């Protein structure tokens, strides 16, 4: 387990509307280093397994449809206490509840289209990073 990495996705709504640059600038400004990054279009199967913990919830099908609706940027980020620090930077899941100045407050358009993903534990950060990146793709 590595407490210095987290996994993030810049979600389709943000990529589609040209927010990738501004979001990366905020991530950089907050002191995170990019350890790995690539643009991918998630398949339905990938989105379903990535969000498997939410299977059966009323928002699951819509979430999978949204996450596969266009390309995303997936990335591994490095920072001391990365998971917690990154969750602070992105703000609450619901942008209406997110603190001013957070990425979701600035760039989310709804609870579903909330611009970015951030891992919720060190264990999930490892799992999610491994879902998209092999060891040789990390720096």
Give the pair of three-digit tokens for residue 25: 């600038």
Least CB distance to ligand UDP at residue 100 (A): 17
Give the pair of three-digit tokens for residue 67: 């996450």
117 is annotated as an active-site residue: yes
Residue 93 near which of Mg ion, ligand UDP, none (CB within 5-8 Å, type-dependent): ligand UDP
Span from 27-35, 69-77, 113-121, 128-136 in contact with ligand UDP (CB under 6 A): 113-121
Least CB distance to ligand UDP at residue 135 (A): 25
Calpha distance 89→98 (Å, rounded)? 10
Half-sphere exposure of 71 (CA within 13 A, CB side): 11
Q: Quote the strand ranges of the chain, DSSP E.
A: 5-10, 33-40, 72-78, 116-118
Chain positions 27 to 66 lying near ligand UDP, rule: CB under 6 A, are 54, 59, 63
Least CB distance to ligand UDP at residue 101 (A): 17
Give the pair of three-digit tokens for residue 130: 């491994």
Active-site residue identified among 117, 125, 128, 129: 117
Q: Give the strands of the sheet with 72-78, arranged side by side.
A: 33-40, 72-78, 5-10, 116-118
Size of interface with ligand UDP, in residues (CB under 6 A)? 9
Q: Which residues are catalytic, by number?
A: 117
Binding site for ligand UDP (CB under 6 A): 54, 59, 63, 93, 111-112, 114, 117, 120
């Amino acid at each position: 387990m590595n407490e210095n990495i987290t996994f993030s996705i810049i979600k389709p709504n943000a990529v589609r509307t040209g927010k990738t640059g501004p979001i990366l600038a905020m991530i950089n400004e907050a002191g995170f280093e990019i350890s790995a990054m690539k643009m991918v279009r998630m398949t339905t199967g990938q989105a379903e397994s990535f969000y498997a913990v939410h299977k059966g919830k009323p928002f699951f099908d819509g979430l999978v449809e949204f996450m596969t609706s266009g390309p995303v940027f997936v990335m591994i980020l490095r920072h001391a206490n990365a998971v917690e620090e990154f969750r602070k930077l992105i703000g609450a899941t619901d942008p209406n509840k997110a603190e001013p100045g957070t990425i979701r407050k600035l760039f989310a358009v709804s609870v579903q289209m909330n611009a970015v993903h951030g891992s919720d534990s060190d264990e999930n950060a490892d799992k999610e990073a491994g879902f998209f990146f092999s060891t040789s793709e990390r720096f």
